[in-house]
Structure 1
Amino acid sequence: MHEFGVLTTFLSGIGFGGVLVFLIKHFLEQKSKLKEIWLLDYKAACDGLLDAYREVALTNSTEALNKYAYWELKLQLYASDVVLSKLEEMKSSPPSTSQRDLAQKSLLKEMRKDLGLT
């Protein structure tokens, strides 16, 4: 009878461990999926902002400015505070100056960090 208790304890321990491993694996997979979705959305926001910025530089049309404003707002959902402050620095710098060039480089560097590329 004592052996039966040991056996059931052993088997239930294996079952509990299996359930625990399954739950941990499931949690980590979900977290990974969310991270992947976030990364894809953030990349799309960065790409959209840079494309709209190019369009504003070329045409300076109302449509281009509206597109830029949209992507800037969308970027605020995903970007780190550092990226957002670098974006403000770039916007406040005078166009066609070395200050703007440095601000652009700094913004791109911080976006790359957020994307995990550096």
Structure 2
Amino acid sequence: MSEFGAFTSFLSGIGLGGVVTFLIKHFLEQRSKLREVWLLDYKAACDGLLDAYREVALSNSDEAKKRYAYWELKLQLYASEAVLQRLQELKDSAPGTVARESAQRTLLREMRKDLGFA
């Protein structure tokens, strides 16, 4: 039993607190890197969706609709539930209506919240 006491004294002597600090710091850095990657992917999905939305509004082609559907699906990986609900409201509204304009504004506001801009 005295060997255990000597071992713990040795560990505390070499800086057990330093080891714990290192582990916590490492965990926080990894979490920060993951958040950064998520943010970049989410921003790309938002940009892709908005660009595809513009293409559908301009041309209404099948190609543009497929691209929009792709970005919408990709956005579902990253977006909050509020963004997904606003996106559904946008899809349910008729083009050129007040409801569509309102849905666009609220969708963009929710996206900015997710990205940390609002």
Q: Normalising by structure 2, what TM-score?
A: 0.90
1:55 aligns with 2:76: no
Distance 1:39 1:115 in 2: 7
Long gaps (5+) in structure 1:
none
Q: Write the mapping of 1:1-118 to structure 2, written as runs, cut at 5 A.
A: 9=9, 12-13=11-12, 14-118=14-118
Q: Which amino acid aligns with 1:31?
A: R
Q: Give % identity.
A: 70
Instruction: Flag structure 2 segments of 5+ consecutive residues without an equivalent.
Output: none
Query: How far apart are the structure 2 equivalents of 1:51 and 1:32?
Result: 28
1:47 is paired with a residue whose SS is: helix
Letter aligned with residue 15 of structure 1: G
Structure 1, residues 56-109: CA drift from partner, whole Å, max 9, x if none? 000000100000000000000000011000000000001001110000000000
What one-letter code is carried by the residue in structure 2 that aligns with 1:94? A
**AA aligned opposite 1:84:** L
Report the Cα offset of residue 17 of structure 1.
0.7
- Following TM superposition, by how much is the alpha carbon of 1:12 offset from its aligned partner in structure 2, in angstroms? 2.5
* 1:18-73 CA distance string (max 9 Å, x none): 11011000000000000000000000000000000000000000100000000000
CA distance in 1: counterparts of 2:92 and 2:52, whole angstroms: 17
CA distance in 2, matches of 1:90, 1:82: 12
Structure 1 ranges of 4+ moved more than 6 A = none
Report the aligned-residue RMSD. 1.5
Question: Partners of 2:26 and 2:63 in 1: how far apart?
Answer: 45
